[in-house]
């Protein structure tokens, strides 16, 4: 590869990552990133090689932030899995378009450190099995959280404020009890928050406790 020539850029790769993240990882363009940085689009190639390269750098940044936050995880292995759920959900809420990017075939390669750190923690807290079983558990939980968030984003885009104002969005205990006695899916206030994510994760944890895998 030929050595890049010309004046040094007035911005850094970190600046490009920040700009792309602010725009949204799912659909940012290099021209939008350049405009936000106040430079010409070709100037970006001083710090990145392609849009895919910048996406990868953004994912590395997300991994670093999640790894930093994961340092405070404590409790039983069950608590660790729930904390991982909360951590992933928080990042999906904070980083627009992250859920779509994580569907990519190579996205997981940017989170090796995070999963290794949490995986070892779960094993140390008494999880039965080896690394392979832990990774299966983390993959199962991550896929569940990701799918739930994608559904929530779609609902938000379709319904907007109507999601929380929907007359069928039951909020009282009696309403919730009534829904549980019906064989249909009815929008609830939870749909505008986290849906059934926590209930699903508890179900997954119970399955691993009973060695149902």
Buried/exposed code over 126-162 (b: 16+ C-beta within 10 A; e: otherwise): ebeeeeebbeebbebbbebbbebbeebbebeeebeee
pLDDT tens digit string along 20-79?
999 999 999 999 999 999 999 999 999 999 999 999 999 999 999 999 999 999 999 999
**Backbone φ, ψ for residue 184 (5° rounding):** -160, 155
Cα separation, 91 vs 36, in Å, equals 23
pLDDT above 70 (res 161)? no
Taking the CA of residue 201 as centre, how many other CA atoms within 13 Å lie in the half-sphere pointing to its CB?
27
Cα separation, 55 vs 42, in Å, equals 17
Does the domain formed by 73-209 have CATH 1.10.3470? no
Confidence (pLDDT) at 2: 46
- Sorting pLDDT into bands at 50, 70 and 90, what band is 170? very low
- Tokens 């404590």 belong to residue: 74
Confidence (pLDDT) at 1: 44
Question: What are the tokens at 112?
Answer: 């090796």
Longest CA pairwise span in the chain (Å): 70
Burial class (CB in 10 A: 0-12, 13-18, 19+), 94: exposed
Confidence (pLDDT) at 8: 59
Q: Where are the domains of the chain?
A: 73-209
Confidence (pLDDT) at 181: 67
List, in sequence order, the alpha helices (H) in 160-191: 162-165, 173-180
Tell me the pTM.
Answer: 0.82
When mean pLDDT is compared across 60-64, 90-94, 167-171, 190-194, the lowest value belongs to 167-171
């Amino acid at each position: 590869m030929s050595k890049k020539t010309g004046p040094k850029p007035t911005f850094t790769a970190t600046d490009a990552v920040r700009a792309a993240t602010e725009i949204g990882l799912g659909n940012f363009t290099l021209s939008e990133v350049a405009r936000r940085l106040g430079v010409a689009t070709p100037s970006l190639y001083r710090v990145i090689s392609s849009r895919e390269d910048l996406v990868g750098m953004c994912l590395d940044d997300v991994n670093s932030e999640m790894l930093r936050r994961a340092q405070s995880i404590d409790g039983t292995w069950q608590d660790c899995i729930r904390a991982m759920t909360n951590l992933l959900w928080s990042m999906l809420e904070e980083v627009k378009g992250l859920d779509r990017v994580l569907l990519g075939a190579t996205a997981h390669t940017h989170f090796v450190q995070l999963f290794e750190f949490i995986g070892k923690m779960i094993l140390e807290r008494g999880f039965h099995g080896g690394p392979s079983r832990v990774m299966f558990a983390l993959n199962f939980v991550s896929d569940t959280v990701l799918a739930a968030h994608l559904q929530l984003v779609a609902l938000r885009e379709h319904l907007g404020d109507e999601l929380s104002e929907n007359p069928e969005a039951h909020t009282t205990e009696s309403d919730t009890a009534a829904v549980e006695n019906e064989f249909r899916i009815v929008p609830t206030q939870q749909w505008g928050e986290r849906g059934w994510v926590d209930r699903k994760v508890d179900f997954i944890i119970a399955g691993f406790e009973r060695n149902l895998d």
